[in-house]
Amino acid sequence: MREREVGPAPGDERETLLDPVDRISEVLFGLIMAMTIVGSISIATAGQAEALTVAKAALGCNLAWGLVDAVMYVVRTVTERSRYRVLGRRIRTEDAATAHRLISQALPEHLAAIVEPSAIEDLRRRLLALPAPEGALLRLRDLVEAAGIFAMVVLATFPVVAPFWLSGDAAFALLASQIITLAMLLVLGVALGRYAGHPRPIRTGIVMAVFGALLIVVVKALGG
């Protein structure tokens, strides 16, 4: 029997690497980071060389932040898995009343408010019937997922900076980069809206694209 821990302990086997929100969030993070740096170009004074320098800076920044994000994902996953194991041991050793309180605190707030005491007791009994989880806190899958996070943050940079490598016109490249960024924000927003179950996910996409446009305007107003 596969080991189980109290609650949806991070790092347990999943059908896909990361959940849709994590994947979309990581791409959005990389996209917005790159857009913010590229949007700082002043076309009035920047030539092609300067534009390429900023594009390289955007890629370098996302390489660094992708690495940081990946490492922090591993740290968070190991920490939460350790927390769930400790919680499981406490529930096994405490009296029923204390165990009920610990289980209630571990549940999401919206579930804890509606779960009956009998259901909590059933959870406690099921936990007592399972073997205590063992094995390493850090698993190969965690490292693969961390690598996926790094890749998503970095890969999100390329559509934003590609126009600066393909065009010798810095002004045209910046315009193309901004259009590509807004289009990607629209698509990602629609995907996020669908996952959230919104009846009209296109609205989420439009909101995301508008947010991106406002960010570009703010960057320019601050001196870009």
Arithmetic mean of pLDDT, 31-57: 71
The predicted structure's pLDDT at residue 147: 92
> With pLDDT > 90 as the criterion, what percentage of the chain qualifies?
8
Please tell me the number of Cα atoms within 13 Å of 190 on its side-chain side: 7
Place of tokens 């990389």: 30
195: Cβ–Cβ under 8 A, 6 or more apart, which residues?
Answer: 20, 21, 24
- Domain extents for the chain? 20-221
86: Cβ–Cβ under 8 A, 6 or more apart, which residues?
Answer: none
Using a cut of 0.85, tell me whether the model's pTM lies above it.
no
Judge contact between 69 and 153, C-beta under 8 A: yes
Judge contact between 104 and 112, C-beta under 8 A: yes
Across the chain, mean pLDDT equals 80
DSSP string, 103-119: HHHHS-HHHHTT--HHH
In this predicted model, what pLDDT tens digit does every residue of 116-145 receive, in sequence order?
888 888 888 888 888 877 788 888 989 999
Asked if residue 13 has pLDDT above 80, the reply is: no
Q: Minimal CA–CA distance to 38: which of 28, 26, 50?
A: 50
Asked if residue 61 has pLDDT above 80, the reply is: yes
